[in-house]
Amino acid sequence: MPSASCSATRPPGCTPGRRSPWTARGSCRAAGPPCPTCSRPSGMSRRPSRRASPGRGARRCRARPSARCRSAASCSEQHRSHRKFGQAGHRASPQNEGMPSSSAVSPLVERALLHLYRHLHEAPSLGELARVTGVSSFHLQREFKRVTGHTPAQRLRLLRLKRASLRLCLEPACPVTELAFDAGYDSPEAFTRAFRRALGQSPSAFRRAPDWWRWRAQFAFAFSPEISPMQVEIVDFPDTPVAVVEHHGSTADVYEATRRLVEWRRAHRLPPGSAATYGIHHDMRLQAESGYRVDLAVTYGQPVTPNPQGVVASLIPGGRCARVRHQGSREHMPVVHELYAEWLPASGERLRDFPPFFHYLNVGPDVAEHEMLTDIYLPLQG
């Protein structure tokens, strides 16, 4: 029998004793308006099946409405959050190794990543990675994909394609066949198919006019191995004349400016071993579609003549600087944030009117990401 409190206001279709999969928390089995996300009537709870445990019902709807059913916006937002963080994995991070920073990566996955990066040419198998990390292949594969969004084999393939794509742009004389074999493919045709699937362009088309936005989206992961705590030095940096390519625009097109500087260096016979490479960062944003500025520079003490690459003469002024070294990917340098947010306020130092600049100690597409060394300079007053 329905209770007295609801018999007078029984909605159409509500009959006493009618069996329904939905049971009110009162004695009436009438169903209120359904939740737009989970289709559960407000004020209702799912009656457990005789064959299924209550846990199954809970898994069907993670954002479970209460007796006073949440609003559609709130319920939907919780579902979106679950999908974003529970399924997208590393893609939910703003930077996307896009992967989480090395401090957020489990030691197990970090050991596997480090071995993968160190032995990229040898293509370590899942079994080899499992032996290095001391766990089963099944556990490693599951944990690796949960953290990075890729299996080890997928990450290996993407790393090789990333390196090949950079060599396509920065080494124009290198034949595609050589790049295909270096990336682990049996033929140029197989390499071309994989390259097109990843970047939407053939290797030749990418070499002529690379789509850097798609490139960044595909290879939006970085790796910096866990190292010792930040060690800051105060140094006197000398006046340093440089030749620069000034990049104004999007963060995705920085590699286009890099290619122009490399062309100019080759024309003037300035290999990395004979001239230092710098980046003067007027803008510290990680991603920007416009208005981003960085000057890519190489030490050069002579007048710069007009050239098709747009390289001009400039100067990095000398003075006191805070210097800290970073090892790992240059697309993911958490030490920069630590320098500004933690060290600077605690030090009592004040910034000079010049942007921070980076000294890239080793450059080129053959330098593995985990081996990249960068000295970060923060100009100080005094």
Nearest partner of 222 among 374, 369, 375, judged by Cα: 369
pLDDT at 289: 77
Q: Is the pLDDT of residue 200 over 90?
A: yes
Q: What values do phi and psi take at 375, rounded to 5?
A: -95, 125
Q: Tokens 């949960």 correspond to what residue? A: 146
* Structure tokens, 84: 């974003």
How many helices (H) and strands (E) are present in the chain, helices listed first? 14, 10
Q: What is the pLDDT of residues 114-130, one digit of tens each?
A: 899 888 888 899 999 99
CA-wise closest residue to 112 among 136, 85, 79, 84: 136
Length of the chain: 382
Q: What phi, psi does 344 have (nearest 5°)? A: -60, -50
Question: Is pLDDT of 187 > 90?
Answer: yes
Decide if 149 contacts 88 (C-beta within 8 A): yes
Residue with the two structure tokens 């992967």: 99
Average pLDDT in the 82-102 region? 32
Looking at residue 92, the DSSP 8-state letter turns out to be G
d(CA 163, CA 365) in angstroms, rounded, equals 6
**From the CB of residue 12, how many other CB atoms can be counted at a distance below 10 Å?**
6
Q: Helical H runs in the chain?
A: 4-7, 54-60, 72-86, 107-118, 126-133, 137-148, 152-170, 176-182, 188-199, 203-208, 212-218, 254-267, 334-338, 344-347
In the three-class reduction of DSSP (H, G, I as helix; E, B as strand; rest coil), residue 230 is classed as: coil
pTM: 0.62
Q: Mention every residue, 6+ apart, whose C-beta is less than 8 A from residue 218.
A: 158, 198, 199
Handedness of CA 201, 203, 209, 213 (dihedral sign): positive
Domains of the chain, with CATH numbers? 86-221 (1.10.10.60), 233-379 (3.20.80.10)
Burial 99-131 (b: 16+ CB within 10 A, else e): bbbbeebeebbbbbbbbbbeebeeebebebbbe
Model pLDDT, residue 307: 96
- Per-residue pLDDT for 65 more than 60? no
User: 286-335 pLDDT, tens per residue?
Assistant: 677 788 899 999 999 999 999 999 999 999 999 999 999 998 888 878 88
Opening angle at CA 252, ends 247 and 257, nearest 5: 35
Distances (CA, A) of 163 to 120, 168, 179, 306: 10, 9, 9, 32
Give yes or no for a contact between 247 and 294, defined as CB atoms under 8 angstroms apart. Answer: yes
Quote the pLDDT of residue 224: 67
Task: Return d(Cα 305, Cα 249) in angstroms, integer.
Answer: 24
Give 347-372 pLDDT, tens digit per residue.
999 999 999 999 999 998 888 888 89
Phi, psi values for residue 303, rounded to 5°: -60, 145
Token pair listed for 286? 């990680």
Q: Convert 72-92 to b/e letters by CB count within 10 Å (16 or more is b).
A: eeebbebeeeeeeeeeebbbb
Which of the pair, 104 or 173, is modelled with greater confidence? 173
Q: Which of 161, 371, 363 is nearest to 258 (CA)?
A: 363
130-160 pLDDT, tens digit each:
999 999 999 999 999 998 899 999 999 999 9
Average pLDDT along the chain: 77
* DSSP β-bridge partners for residue 377: 323, 357
What was the pLDDT predicted at 227?
Answer: 61
pLDDT of residue 226: 62
What is the C-alpha separation between 220 and 158, in angstroms, rounded?
Answer: 10
